[in-house]
Amino acid sequence: MTSQTPVTPFGARLRAAMDARGPLCVGIDPHAALLDSWGLADDIAGLERFSRTVVEALADSVAVFKPQAAFFERFGSRGVAVLERTVADARAAGSLVVMDAKRGDIGSTMAAYASAFLDPSSPLFSDALTVSPYLGYGSLKPAVDLARESGAGLFVLALTSNPEGAEVQRAVREDGRSIGATMLAHLAAENAGAEPMGSFGAVVGATLGDLSSFDLDINGPLLAPGIGAQGATAADLPAVFGAAVGNVVPNVSRGVLKHGPDTAALRASAKAFADEIREAVAL
């Protein structure tokens, strides 16, 4: 990829979007039960109607969308085509897009995943990508390098909200540091010196309670699933994230999406969550 003009890094663009629109990320998760609750069939037509409605209702007001790639990929190439349009329409309307694909591999395969989502010439180009570091943080280098070049970002799975994650993420290395803490340290190094915020973030669950034993000050964003249907609230954020709470991007999916297909209800729900979060983190 080549570029004639410098690209504003993802971290700076995310900070501006959060300050202007509120620190909220809305998931786009068209699973079968949610499509059914909207009165839509679990098919391409339902997928397209759902995605288009969410983007049209919210793209001019929310800071970030996070489409879950798997719910589109399950429909094959036609589902991926809907995902491409969803990403393009959301970005055209002013929202940032974090592709939730959790890719992780080595060498040329990791480079291919990175190209699919982080190269501006790709139809799936997104502002950031979720990645899994559990083949070793160094395996992510192709994605790190391309993100820097393209002005995109990464969100690395560090301390996830699913109970199973703890057996890996809280396992302790020979040096006495947990795997999760090691990932946070790598990200802090990637973000060193970046202003106003680095582009390499961590996924840290909002449902995890006291995380004071972890250094969350990575000078980068913290994507925090768990608000709403999973039980965490905006009021919990300061206690969970401490001094790093200003860089938290809480993700809400079902808590907002359950109000569709009524666009006014979707907008009202997203605004309510954004206002509650802004107040809780004093932004």
Catalytic residue among 66, 102, 141, 258: 102
Sequence-separated (6 or more) residues with CB below 8 Å from residue 70: 101
Dihedral (Cα; 81, 87, 90, 92), 10-degree rounding: -90
Phi-psi label, residue 186: left if phi above 0, alpha if psi -120 to 50, beta otherwise: alpha
Q: Which helix (H) or strand (E) holds 47?
A: helix 44-58
Distances 23 to 168, 178, 233 between C-alpha atoms, Å: 29, 29, 14
79 CA to centre of own chain: 20
Per the CB < 8 A criterion, the answer to whether 182 and 174 are in contact is no
DSSP strand pairing (128-131 vs 64-67): unpaired
102 flagged as catalytic: yes
How many C-beta atoms lie closer than 10 Å to residue 40's C-beta? 20
In the structure encoding, which two tokens stand for residue 99, read together? 């592709």
Q: Which helix (H) or strand (E) holds 187?
A: helix 179-190
In the structure encoding, which two tokens stand for residue 100, read together? 């939730």
How many C-beta atoms lie closer than 10 Å to residue 39's C-beta? 10
- Say whether 123 sits in a helix, a strand or coil: coil
- Say whether 46 sits in a helix, a strand or coil: helix
Would you please indicate which residues are annotated as catalytic (active-site) residues? 102
